[in-house]
């Protein structure tokens, strides 16, 4: 069995690993939120631009302006699709970071459990030693009282 110092070192390393994993998980969750916000912004901008396009069509629009509107709408559609891909990638990364955090947390908890068991075993041995000393002391006193 590992010594107490070795177990403390392993627990400290596992604690650091868990903290680092938690930070990475937090950063990946933030990236997901930011990607979703950017997507919402692009979708809103596209909707606004589509309304402007409809209004321009009703007011009368030149063929050149029509092509420009259409080209820009296509670019916005590509940007929206690209942002959806970014969201998927950020969510995938977030799931990976969550799994890594869970694994490091399980490792940390395992070391903690081992430490608790070692402490309980040490306490049990100490109690056994104390009981043995008290029994010997009681036996000596009983012997001398005779």
pTM of the model: 0.73
CATH number of 2-143: 1.10.287.1700
Output the pLDDT for position 25.
97
Report pLDDT digits (tens) over 96-142.
999 999 999 999 999 989 888 888 888 899 999 989 999 888 888 88
Mean pLDDT of 11-26: 95
The pLDDT mean for the chain works out to 92
Whole-angstrom distance, CA of residue 117 vs CA of residue 130: 20
DSSP 111-124: HHHHHHHHHHHHHH
What's the alpha-carbon Rg for the chain, to the nearest Å? 34
Phi (first) and psi of residue 100, to 5 degrees: -65, -40
Mean pLDDT of 36-56: 94
Instruction: Count CB atoms within 10 A of the CB of residue 122.
Output: 11
Through-space distance between the first and last CA atoms of the chain, rounded to whole angstroms: 46
Whole-angstrom distance, CA of residue 85 vs CA of residue 79: 10
- Confidence check: pLDDT of 2 > 60: no
Residue 112's contacts (CB-CB under 8 Å, 6 or more residues apart) are 11
Per-residue pLDDT band for 6 (boundaries 50, 70, 90) equals confident
Domain parsing of the chain, residue ranges: 2-143
């Amino acid at each position: 069995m590992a010594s107490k110092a070795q177990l403390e070192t392993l627990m400290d390393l596992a604690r650091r690993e868990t903290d680092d994993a938690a930070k990475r998980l937090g950063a990946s969750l933030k990236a997901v939120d930011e990607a979703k916000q950017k997507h919402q912004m692009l979708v809103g901008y596209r909707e606004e631009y589509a309304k402007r396009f409809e209004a321009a069509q009703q007011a009368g629009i030149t063929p050149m302006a029509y092509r420009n509107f259409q080209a820009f709408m296509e670019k916005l559609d590509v940007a929206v699709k690209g942002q959806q891909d970014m969201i998927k990638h950020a969510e995938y990364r977030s799931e990976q970071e969550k799994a890594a955090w869970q694994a490091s947390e399980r490792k940390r908890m395992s070391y903690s459990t081992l430490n608790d068991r070692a402490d309980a075993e040490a306490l049990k041995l100490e109690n056994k030693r104390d009981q043995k000393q008290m029994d010997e002391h009681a036996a000596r006193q009983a012997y001398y009282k005779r």
